[in-house]
């Protein structure tokens, strides 16, 4: 059964330093970046890509970060509700990686299969001290949840394929979604923060292995070229303003 739709779900905005966005950048100027999740409906399964912030983290973000913006509609449960879904309607959650702005809402999904690369799951439990602040154990230390730890690329259902894109983190993954009308869309996750990372093959400033991160950007570009697909970066405010957002969908 084919893919039926792809919904972009806004999960608010935070401030981030330019030297965190771009490897080698010196400027500590802060910019406002979007945080997003995506919902893929297929004939076989309802699949969520990333879970955004933990709702419990929002008050602190709003208090400590002058560029943070978060409305009631930005809550993941409200975005899902806007397209007629509840957390228990989600069959599969694909986590690009386990940083706090991508895996924060995972505890909402005790019935879903949670898919993450084995290397990411292991690293998140024992990160190097310089990356520890990105991994909140409460987000993924979820006993009794249905974790499926994978290695490398996996076709989940026809038209939805996990692509391993490590570098930003040890087990980062992206998602290729083949839509009947819009064509292939690659949800890059943090393999590409901004369009500039794709166009000029730049690496995130927050990066576990810059060389692998660069190879992963190139890999997504090759797949996009060969399939005629488009790459969606994760945190680009200008790109985000052009995205069709839920309840509308890419078909």
Instruction: Give the binding site for Zn ion (CB under 5 A).
Output: 99, 190
Q: How far is the CB of 102 from Zn ion (least distance, A)?
A: 6
Q: How far is the CB of 189 from Zn ion (least distance, A)?
A: 8
Between residues 71 and 133, which has the closer beta carbon with respect to Zn ion? 133
Q: Which single residue brings its beta carbon nearest to Zn ion?
A: 99
Between residues 99 and 197, which has the closer beta carbon with respect to Zn ion? 99
Q: How far is the CB of 101 from Zn ion (least distance, A)?
A: 7
Between residues 129 and 181, which has the closer beta carbon with respect to Zn ion? 129
Radius of gyration (C-alpha) of the chain in whole angstroms: 17
How is residue 20 written in tokens? 């965190």
Between residues 166 and 178, which has the closer beta carbon with respect to Zn ion? 166
Between residues 178 and 190, which has the closer beta carbon with respect to Zn ion? 190
Between residues 79 and 99, which has the closer beta carbon with respect to Zn ion? 99
User: Which residues, in sequence order, are bridge partners of residue 90?
Assistant: none
Q: How far is the CB of 190 from Zn ion (least distance, A)?
A: 4
Q: How far is the CB of 133 from Zn ion (least distance, A)?
A: 12
Q: How far is the CB of 2 from Zn ion (least distance, A)?
A: 30
């Amino acid at each position: 059964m084919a893919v039926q739709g792809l919904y972009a779900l806004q999960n608010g905005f935070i401030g981030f330093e330019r030297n965190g966005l771009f490897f080698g950048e010196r400027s500590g100027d802060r910019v406002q970046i979007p945080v997003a999740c995506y919902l893929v409906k297929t004939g076989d399964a309802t699949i969520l890509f990333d879970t955004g912030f933990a709702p419990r983290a929002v008050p602190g973000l709003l208090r400590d970060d002058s560029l943070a913006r978060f409305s009631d509609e930005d809550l993941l449960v409200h975005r899902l509700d806007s397209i007629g879904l509840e957390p228990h309607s989600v069959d599969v959650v694909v986590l690009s990686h386990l940083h706090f702005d991508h895996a924060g809402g995972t505890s909402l999904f005790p019935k879903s299969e949670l898919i993450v690369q084995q290397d990411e799951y292991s690293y998140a439990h024992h990160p190097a001290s310089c990356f520890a602040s990105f991994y909140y154990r409460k987000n993924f230390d979820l006993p009794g949840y249905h974790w499926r730890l994978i290695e490398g690329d996996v076709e989940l259902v026809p038209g939805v394929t996990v692509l391993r894109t490590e570098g930003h983190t040890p087990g980062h993954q992206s998602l290729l979604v083949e839509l009947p009308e819009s064509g292939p869309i690659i949800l890059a996750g943090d393999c590409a923060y901004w369009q500039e990372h794709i166009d000029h093959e730049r690496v995130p400033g927050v990066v576990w292995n810059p060389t692998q991160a660069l190879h992963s950007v190139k890999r997504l570009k090759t797949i996009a070229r060969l399939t005629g697909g488009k790459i969606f970066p994760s945190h680009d405010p200008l790109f985000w303003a052009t995205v069709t957002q839920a309840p509308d969908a890419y078909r």
